[in-house]
């Protein structure tokens, strides 16, 4: 079986959803090719087998009358200029159309302005609007005609040219060219033979309104994608290496050591080798509080060094960095299609031929019932103009574009549009304990002292000794103590603890048995404290020196300070939280009680986590799973919705549907709220797009809409859908 390759093509020349649908059908006819074309992002995501050259895909798109190219790497510095260049021709045509169309519409609507031979001035002004300003519609319609297809441009071109052509006939061969002719503007049609009617205001007005709709739609689409462009622009442009040279960031290699001064962006993902600081990751994760870091800590590219000077060793560069992976996930999500969009695509694909047939039928009906040529023509043109499927085509992709972009700003990565469908149905959320509800690392939480002992002295001596050990419990004590006392004769007593000389004191830290071997027995109050902490599932170690037991240190994986609030937010969304862990029942129950979880599944082996999720699903529950470790990956994939903590492993992130960039469980609630809000926006857009066409087409066919009003309403529908989607940018 040949392997498959993915490629993303930038598509040019699309003007409506029907264009995207047509390109998609053409590509999917190629053997082994699966393609998805997105009108809003103007991109095609294509999966194809080994035997096909990407140039063949490009040629297929071009044979359909459009342009295609492999996308260039984003250049942040050129983005605004490129956008300006892209919009300029459209803006110039729009300005021309508005300047010339306004007098034409005014003369048609206001009888006092209809001076002798005013109709000839209207023709002089309207003709450039229809021919020059409307040229993109005519060119696209001709291209489609040559390929035996019809799109929205076909409707606009036929409608405006028909209005102009009829007006020319009426002026030159009918009675409309008579000096002193007046033309009362009517919202609906009138029953006349049409020889004295001109429709120049409809031809010019429709062109101007639709150009305005296209211009604002294009601007809005670019605003919708601004979050992704901002994400791509976050990274540093150049970096100072440890040897003093300054090089562009894209020249960094894994293993290179580079300097980051206060206020500078960290150039790429790496590990701190020298220095301590606070790192501001807000622009990447949405986390507002800077994180304290020091030697051995990992840092992410594009975050800002808010404190001291750091020397960092690069661990991931280029496309492997977290920033690049985030951008890739967001872009892939924006290129995909939700199930609701595929319905809209199927409708828009057959919509244009149906509308043309309906317009012909309307023309025949009015002529057949004696309504007059003018009435028949006006109704037919109104049907052509009003029936834009653009709003249908924009309904899903623009909402998805804005929603996923806003998610990226908040540290939420949505893998694909189908994920949105899942979030609506979820009723149970399974939470891995370690690293999800808890910090995932040992922390010193309490110190029990023997009578007469000083906490500061205990931590100074114990911390210095533990600093020499690599054990997680030892590191938790050392980190809390931050002792600078010197250690001599350090020794690790396997299975019991550590011992050594600290500032002349023979110090022991470990199990009570280690101290007992040196005749240092715990007093009764310390023994009671140790047993009490162990019953709660915590780890307790004894400290002694100079022949006497001095203290008991309590170490545990503490609950994250935001976890309790997160559980409350998840409950408010109608979800039942379940704690899933491999820890013992006592520890699990203690953590669950602290954060407000009632249901606990404890002492589960990694391989059994999948079975726990399956069991919940078998009970009829729709399950979301939140985890961060390799042992969570299979369960994340099994769940109806998988959410991976971005602070976790690559395996967990790969298996999930949503990635929460920062390790705050509250973001899970935010992710579900954002996904549901995005889906709600999509459905609202589709409702209005469907309702608009369903309501407007019969009105136009019955002669209750002037073509110019139809053009304005059609343009408004597309702008409304995009504007409604843009409201997601305000999500908090």
**Residue 609: closest CA among 573, 642, 643, 633:** 633
- Per the structure block, which two tokens stand in for 206? 């429709």
- Per the structure block, which two tokens stand in for 586? 């006592």
Instruction: Give the β-pairing of 497-502 and 67-69.
Output: unpaired
Q: Tell me the C-alpha distance between 505 and 598, whole Å.
A: 48
Report the SS3 class of residue 371: coil
**Residue 323: closest CA among 231, 224, 227, 415:** 231
Tell me the H-state helices in 336-386: 339-368, 373-386
Q: Tell me the C-alpha distance between 266 and 313, whole Å.
A: 11
Decide if 527 contacts 513 (C-beta within 8 A). no
Decide if 42 contacts 12 (C-beta within 8 A). yes
- The helix or strand, by DSSP H or E, that contains position 573, with its residue range, turns out to be none
Decide if 416 contacts 404 (C-beta within 8 A). no
DSSP code at position 560: P
Q: Tell me the C-alpha distance between 20 and 38, whole Å.
A: 6
Q: Tell me the C-alpha distance between 299 and 577, whole Å.
A: 31
Catalytic residues: 432
Q: Tell me the C-alpha distance between 21 and 114, whole Å.
A: 46
List b or e across 503-525, with b for residues whose CB sees 16 or more CB atoms inside 10 angstroms: eebebbbbbbebbbeeebebeee
Q: Tell me the C-alpha distance between 394 and 688, whole Å.
A: 12
DSSP code at position 632: G
Q: Tell me the C-alpha distance between 180 and 252, whole Å.
A: 78
DSSP code at position 482: -
Question: Residue 438 pairs with which residues in a beta bridge?
Answer: 559
């Amino acid at each position: 079986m040949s392997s498959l390759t993915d490629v993303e093509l930038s598509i040019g020349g699309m003007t409506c959803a029907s264009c995207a649908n047509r390109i998609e059908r053409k590509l999917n006819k190629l053997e082994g090719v699966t393609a998805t074309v997105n009108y809003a992002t103007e991109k095609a995501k294509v999966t194809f087998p080994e035997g096909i050259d990407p140039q063949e895909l490009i040629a297929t798109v071009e044979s359909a009358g459009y342009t295609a190219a492999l996308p260039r790497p984003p250049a942040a510095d050129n983005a605004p200029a490129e956008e300006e260049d892209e919009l300029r021709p459209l803006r110039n045509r729009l300005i021309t159309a508005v300047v010339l169309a306004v007098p034409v519409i005014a003369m048609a609507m206001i009888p006092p302005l209809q001076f002798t031979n005013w109709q000839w001035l209207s023709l002089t002004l309207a003709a450039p609007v229809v021919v020059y300003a409307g040229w993109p519609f005519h060119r696209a319609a001709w291209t489609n005609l040559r390929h035996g297809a019809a799109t929205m441009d076909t409707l606009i071109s036929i409608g405006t040219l028909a209005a102009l052509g009829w007006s020319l006939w009426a002026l030159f061969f009918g009675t409309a060219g008579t000096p002193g002719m007046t033309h009362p503007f009517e919202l609906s049609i009138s029953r006349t033979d049409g020889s004295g009617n001109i429709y120049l205001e409809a031809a010019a007005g429709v062109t101007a309104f639709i150009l305005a709709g296209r211009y604002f739609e294009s601007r809005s689409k670019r605003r919708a994608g601004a979050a992704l462009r901002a994400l791509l622009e976050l990274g540093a442009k150049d970096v100072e290496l440890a040897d003093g040279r300054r090089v562009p960031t894209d020249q960094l290699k894994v293993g290179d050591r580079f300097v980051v001064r206060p206020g500078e962006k960290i150039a790429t993902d790496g590990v701190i080798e020298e220095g301590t600081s606070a790192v501001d990751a807000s622009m990447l994760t949405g986390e507002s509080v800077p994180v304290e870091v020091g030697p051995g800590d990992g840092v992410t590219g594009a975050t800002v060094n808010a404190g001291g000077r750091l020397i960092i060793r690069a661990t991931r560069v280029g496309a492997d960095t977290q920033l690049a992976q985030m951008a890739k996930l967001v872009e892939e999500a924006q290129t995909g299609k939700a199930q609701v969009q595929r319905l809209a695509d199927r409708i828009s694909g057959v919509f244009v031929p149906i509308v043309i047939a309906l317009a012909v039928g309307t023309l025949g009906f009015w002529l057949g019932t004696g309504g007059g040529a003018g009435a028949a023509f006006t109704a037919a043109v109104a049907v052509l103009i009003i029936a834009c499927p653009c709003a249908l085509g924009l309904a899903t992709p623009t909402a998805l574009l804005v929603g996923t972009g806003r998610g990226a700003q908040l540290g939420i990565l949505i893998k694909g549009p189908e994920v949105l469908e899942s979030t609506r149905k979820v009723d149970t959320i399974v939470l891995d304990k370690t690293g999800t509800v808890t910090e995932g690392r040992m922390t010193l939480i309490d110190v029990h002292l023997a009578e007469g002992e000083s906490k500061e002295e205990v931590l100074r001596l114990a911390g210095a000794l533990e600093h020499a050990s690599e054990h997680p419990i030892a590191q938790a004590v050392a980190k809390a103590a931050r002792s600078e006392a010197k250690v001599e004769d350090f020794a690790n007593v396997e299975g019991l603890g550590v011992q050594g000389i600290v500032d002349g004191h023979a110090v022991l830290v470990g199990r009570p048995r280690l101290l007992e071997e040196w005749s240092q027995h715990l007093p009764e109050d310390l023994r009671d404290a140790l047993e009490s902490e162990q019953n709660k599932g915590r780890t307790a170690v004894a400290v002694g020196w100079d022949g006497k037991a001095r203290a008991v240190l309590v170490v545990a994986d503490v609950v994250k300070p935001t976890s309790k609030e997160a559980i409350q937010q998840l409950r408010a969304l109608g979800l039942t939280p379940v704690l899933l862990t491999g820890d013992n029942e006592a520890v699990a129950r203690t953590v669950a009680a602290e954060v407000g979880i009632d249901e606990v599944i404890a002492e589960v082996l990694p391989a059994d986590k999948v079975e726990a999720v399956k069991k919940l699903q078998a009970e009829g529950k729709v399950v979301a799973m939140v985890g961060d470790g390799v042992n969570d990956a299979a369960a994340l994939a099994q769940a109806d919705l998988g959410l991976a903590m971005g602070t976790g492993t690559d395996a967990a992130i790969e298996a999930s549907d949503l990635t929460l960039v920062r390790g705050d469980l509250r973001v899970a609630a935010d992710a579900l709220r954002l996904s549901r809000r995005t889906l709600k926006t999509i459905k609202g857009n589709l409702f209005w797009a469907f309702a608009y066409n369903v309501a407007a087409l019969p009105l136009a066919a019955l002669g209750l809409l002037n073509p110019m009003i139809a053009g304005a309403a059609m343009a408004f529908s597309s702008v409304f859908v995009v504007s409604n989607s843009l409201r997601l940018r305000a999500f908090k």
